[in-house]
Amino acid sequence: QITIVRKITSNGKDKIVNENEKGNLVLTPEDKKKLESVKALQAKAKQASIDAREAKTKAIEAIQALDGSDAIKAIKQDIEARLKAQEDVTSKALTVYQEAKDKLQSIQSEYQTLTGIDKKVKASKGKGKTGNSNGNGKFETVVKQKDDCVNVLVTHKDTKNTFEYSLYAKNGKISREHWLKLRHSLTAQFEKDTGEENLTIRAYLSNLKSKIEAIKAIA
């Protein structure tokens, strides 16, 4: 039985509530319907939580079952075998790359030793045709190092353009004729090792390094 009709403020808005003589809230038929709807939603939420826990448990059980199956074990073993094979390929490629670098350094060192002396130049500043400033009638000579000799390119075109005839001094450690023979020998050996003609060692190493990086990316 409703005895009091009281206005209250909720969330900044005025609302009318019904109370009985004991001060307890009295629900109207419309309020009761809303309350039942709320209870129904709470029940669904609770059931959904239970269902979610059950689904999670079932998923864990399924994963555990897969881990113990022969099919999954076979797949894991296959993947491990493939990775091992890829590691072997990468290791071999790195070994070949290091050997090629060592060979390049060896050739560069040998070439610099053989051709490190540039042509001898006249030191005299005298204007006479048959004499110089020291008055002995002879020209003094000096040894001149060629710093860019380290950049070895063993193709015919690059060698011809890079190492001019002036490198082969008559009194140097190696003659032009001997160097041409050496260059031909190096070129032939390099083409035999790489299987590619007209290719520089530097380009060969760069190409090999790119292949190694590609293998690493796949692994």
pLDDT, tens only, 180-197: 666 666 666 655 655 554
Residue tagged 């070895």 (tokens) = 152
Give the C-alpha separation, 112 to 187, whole Å.
17
The overall pTM is greater than 0.85: no
CA angle, residues 31, 27, 46, in degrees to nearest 5: 55
3-state secondary structure of 152: coil
- Contact in structure between 174 and 111 (CB atoms under 8 Å): no
Contacts of 87 (CB under 8 A, 6+ apart): 219
Q: Given a cut of 50, is residue 124 above it in pLDDT?
A: no
Q: Given a cut of 70, is residue 201 above it in pLDDT?
A: no
Q: Given a cut of 60, is residue 84 above it in pLDDT?
A: yes
